[in-house]
Amino acid sequence: MRFFTPGAAKASIKFRMPTAENLVPIRLDIDVDGNRFKDAFTWNPSDPDSEVTNFAKRTVKDLKLPSTFVAHISQSIQNQLSEFHSFEGQEMQIKEKIVPIKIDLRVNNTVIRDQFLWDISNLESDPEEFARTFCKDMDIGDPEVGPAIAVSIREQLYEIVTQSVSSARETRIGKKGRRASDTLTNSKAGITMDLGKLFGSKGSVVRKRKEWYLYEPIVDILSNEEVGALDAREELNARLKRKLDEKDESFQTRYSHG
């Protein structure tokens, strides 16, 4: 039995997803001539590049999308993969962090909200298995929910590890070294939790009853009208956001030249 001293063991390892399978979450959101295609799935980064084009072609054919999508899809996937690969050579520091993972999704008619704690340093964790068990336990009828959950978990994990890569870089650059990492952890105090506090002499493993409601999963089935309403609102938001982005860009270009 190893005795945990929180914060002391900082294993520095090569960048990878902290899961048993080193899979990358890919999100596609392509808009061509008013046709919008949104998708999210997990990809194995060690698959050859030919897979990307095959997959794009196959998807376009299966969904009967216009063929211009093939290039866009392949491009998007390739971009995300190369971003992942660019992180790959670098070191990251896995501190023994327990991070809360939040699920807040709407898939077709089902709304899922949940929150739970995930151990980043456990390199054998499996979001897919979690998603499967979740759907089975919660008796979720729609089979599209499972993959969505898995992708969402992976995305959050991915974000965390990429941040830890940059933090590793900073600690090396900064002369303070250890102190710098401490300040970082303090700044992220809201996100990470100190194991010591939980499992120390005063804490116990059992969650306090008043906190139960926070960690309980909520699964809601919406009626079709609600779904329609939510969809319309999301569309509106997306359009507004796009307009704002365009404004920002034009602003930048105008004032960078001027």
Given 73, 99, 150, 157, the residue binding another protein (CB under 8 A): 150
Q: What sign results for the dihedral spanned by CA atoms 13, 18, 19, 22?
A: negative
* 29 bridge partner residues: 38
Given 69, 70, 73, 128, the residue binding another protein (CB under 8 A): 128
Neighbours of 25 (CB within 10 A): 22
Given 113, 132, 169, 188, the residue binding another protein (CB under 8 A): 132
Give 21 or 248: the residue with its C-beta nearer to another protein. Answer: 21
Give 129 or 216: the residue with its C-beta nearer to another protein. Answer: 129
Alpha helices in 188-223 (DSSP H): 195-199
The two beta strands, 218-221 and 24-32, are: unpaired
- By the rule CB under 8 A, 248 interacts with another protein: no
CA distances from 158 to 25, 30, 78, 205, 208 (A): 8, 21, 17, 27, 30
- By the rule CB under 8 A, 105 interacts with another protein: no
Report in angstroms how near the CB of residue 19 gets to another protein at its nearest.
8
- By the rule CB under 8 A, 83 interacts with another protein: no
Given 15, 18, 37, 42, the residue binding another protein (CB under 8 A): 42
CB 149 within 8 A of CB 105: yes
Task: Give backbone dihedrals phi and psi of 246, rounded to 5 degrees, phi first.
Answer: -65, -40
Give 127 or 181: the residue with its C-beta nearer to another protein. Answer: 127
Q: How far is CA 256 from the centre of its chain?
A: 33
Given 6, 7, 20, 188, the residue binding another protein (CB under 8 A): 20
Residue ranges binding another protein (CB under 8 A): 19-21, 23, 39, 41-44, 47, 51, 55, 58-59, 61-63, 124, 126, 128-129, 131-132, 135, 140-144, 146-147, 149-150
